[in-house]
Copies of this chain bind each other. A is one copy, B any other.
Amino acid sequence: MSSSPQTTANGGATAGETEGDWVWNEIKAAARRDAESEPALASYLYSTIISHSSLTRSLSFHLGNKLCSSTLLSTLLYDLFLNTFSSDSSLLSATVADLRAARQRDPACISFAHCLLNYKGFLAIQAHRVAHRLWALNRKPIALALHSRVADVFSVDIHPAARVGKGILLDHATGVVIGETAVVGNNVSILHHVTLGGTGKVGGDRHPKIGDGVLIGAGATVLGNVKIGEGAKIGAGSLVMIDVPPRTTAVGNPARLVGGEEKPKVHEDVPGETMDHTFIYVI
């Protein structure tokens, strides 16, 4: 991809073009290039991206075809996604922020089109936002049906009531579980097999609250109504049942704070954005 979004001052968008337009144009251009160079894939690229007039339509089409089953038709899901995206423009801006997150934080992500087409974590989050909006409108049965399809197809299980911010990267994504009363802030990065779970059978507010800019490593399990502060980092494979202060790191099973509970080591960067796992286990 010629113009890397990191190095472009205003995100690449020229005057009079929204960021969403710019991203969508990048996606279409990449899809056209790929269709040209790989005829065997062109059919897929045209049906999923190039033939559509907007990112919203392309994404709705793609999700409809990914999540459909013999009893939940693609046309029905397509309608549902299209209508919901159309009813709330904040959904699209969250989508764009997520595309940027993948592109900036995952070195394996070679284009926005790559993310839109292939990232199950990205697709699961977009479907979740639609399910969440339906849940908020008290359309619970259909929100739960979407929840179930996402859990089947992507192995990503986000309860429709969970509140998730924007600029989210679910990297690899398989096995992520996020419970009903969990809250995830903006610019959070969550690796695969991460659980934001509850601790019992009593209802009410019982799941973790994840601050902005948090990074949660692969296989980490965070249980209970604990607070993971802004910019904190959770090591891979950790089991966290305690609050973690902002910009500190928790590691281990059970997890302890790096630097000690009294005076935990504070880092400068925002791990959810820098994706820096390197010093996690210097404990």
Task: Please list the residues of chain A having a beta carbon within 8 angstroms of any beta carbon in chain B.
Answer: 34-35, 37-48, 50-51, 57, 61-62, 64-66, 68-76, 78-80, 104-108, 110, 114, 117-120, 139-142, 144-145, 147-148, 151-155, 157, 159, 172, 174-175, 177, 179-180, 191-193, 195, 197-204, 206, 217-219, 221, 223-224, 235-239, 241, 251-254, 274-278, 280-281, 283
Contacts and interface: CB of A to CB of B under 8 A. Distances in A.
A123 B50 CA distance: 29
6 contacts: A43-B43, A47-B76, A65-B73, A120-B151, A195-B236, A219-B239
A201 B274 contact: yes
B75 A61 contact: yes
Contacts of A198: 107, 277
Contact of A223 (B46, B147, B201, B236): B236
B219 A192 contact: no
Given A110-B140, A175-B192, A236 B218 contact: no
A195 B219 contact: yes
A42 B42 contact: yes
Given A40-B76, A76-B43, A278 B218 contact: no
Given A74-B70, A118-B145, A277 B223 contact: yes
A278 B175 CA distance: 23
A213 to B, nearest CB: 14
A148 to B, nearest CB: 4
Given A37-B141, A76-B47, A107-B203, A278 B120 contact: no
Given A41-B141, A118-B145, A223-B236, A107 B177 contact: no
Residue of A35, A44, A71 with highest tally of chain B CB at under 10 A: A71
A271 to B, nearest CB: 10
Given A44-B145, A64-B75, A195-B236, 18 more contacts: A34-B141, A38-B141, A40-B76, A43-B46, A44-B71, A47-B73, A104-B201, A106-B201, A107-B203, A108-B159, A117-B144, A117-B145, A118-B144, A157-B174, A193-B219, A195-B218, A251-B254, A252-B254
A1 to B, nearest CB: 12
A214 to B, nearest CB: 15
Nearest to A33: B141
A198 B109 CA distance: 14
Contacts of A219: 193, 195, 219, 221, 237, 239
